[in-house]
Amino acid sequence: MKKTNQQIIDELNESLKKNNQETRVIKYSSDTISLANGTILNDKEQSRFVKRVKNTKTNLWVKQIDNLLSGKITEKEIKSKLASIGGNSVQKKYGHIIKQNLNTGKPWNAGTKGQRIGTLGPRDQKVKDKISEKNSGAGNGMYGIRMSDDSKKMRSNLMKKKILFGEFTPNSNNRNTHWDSTFNGEKYRSSWEALYQYINQTADYEKLRIEYTFNGDTKIYIVDFVDHINKQVIEVKPKELCTGKKFQAKLSALSKWATAHNYTITIVDKQWLQSQLVEIDYTKFDDNTAKKIKALYEINKKNRNK
């Protein structure tokens, strides 16, 4: 039986009330919603509002409705938190595979195409067929567009130049954890990088870019830190990951640059970080990063006391 507009209003308001939100719906139609504060949502805005308030998979959207409407939080920030939840779930279930495939050139999720590898199981074949049909033909964003090999190569070279000259930096979001570490509001790819920046605040983050060759292709190496005052280049990486042909290719290019400019190379691993006897102001970091840094030093204290 089709629900009346008043029934939908009651359901939406019940969800808002349950999640401690002050926002209330006073009018509803198939394409418009009027809120008690005078806001009117039309078309896509109306549809998004309903989906977020009635979402049964996560209440993260509805818990932030007041802040979202007032501008205290952005959609991007909420999506980042949702990605973090998914990333943590993936780490918990597939962390061992992720570690095995790092720096090997093999995707950690190879063979999982068409599956939802986070908190949900594989999609039903009918659902996958429906998605495939929807994204085929005119539904595909590249439908009717044929790019020659020369065009692809030109685009690739253009992007490499943008990265090399600092005009573009790939997303800082950590590909393994799906959340950003932050120090003083600035984003870093890991808690170790954020911690190193705290220890050495004269170092510049991801400002030095060097070309290197791997498997016959020219690539761009974005060096973690460069300290022009102390003439150092710094790579922040666990010791066990400082292996493999790709890492050696990067290190070789970095060594040539360092020699040519009279800089030294420092590999910052767990032991290096734990050896730095500095007072940490954890309020400078986001909560996840602060927890990881505390754990890093707690482990070191326990090892010293054995």
pLDDT band at residue 176 under the 50/70/90 scheme: very low
Tokens of 50: 């309903």
CA triple 9-14-17, angle to 5 deg: 125
Q: Classify domain 160-305 at the CATH topology level.
A: Trna Endonuclease; Chain: A, domain 1 (3.40.1350)
Pairing of strands 217-222, 209-214: antiparallel
Arithmetic mean of pLDDT, 156-165: 66
Measured CA to CA in angstroms, residue 147 lies from 140, 150, 154 at distances of: 15, 8, 11
pLDDT of res. 19: 92
Three-state DSSP state, 173: coil
Express each pLDDT in 83-121 by its tens digit.
777 666 767 777 777 666 655 556 666 666 555 555 556
pLDDT band at residue 38 under the 50/70/90 scheme: confident
* 199 pLDDT more than 90: yes
pLDDT band at residue 192 under the 50/70/90 scheme: very high
pLDDT of res. 81: 80
Which ranges in the chain are annotated with CATH 3.40.1350? 160-305
Query: Closest Cα partner for 220 from 188, 257, 189?
Result: 257
Arithmetic mean of pLDDT, 247-262: 94
Arithmetic mean of pLDDT, 63-79: 87
Arithmetic mean of pLDDT, 53-65: 88
Arithmetic mean of pLDDT, 126-140: 79
pLDDT of res. 132: 81
pLDDT of res. 100: 67
Arithmetic mean of pLDDT, 236-255: 92
Three-state DSSP state, 215: coil
pLDDT of res. 178: 46
Q: Is 198 left (phi over 0), alpha (psi -120 to 50) or beta?
A: alpha
Express each pLDDT in 10-36 by its tens digit.
999 999 999 999 999 999 988 899 998
Percent of the chain at pLDDT exceeding 90: 36
* 160 pLDDT more than 90: no
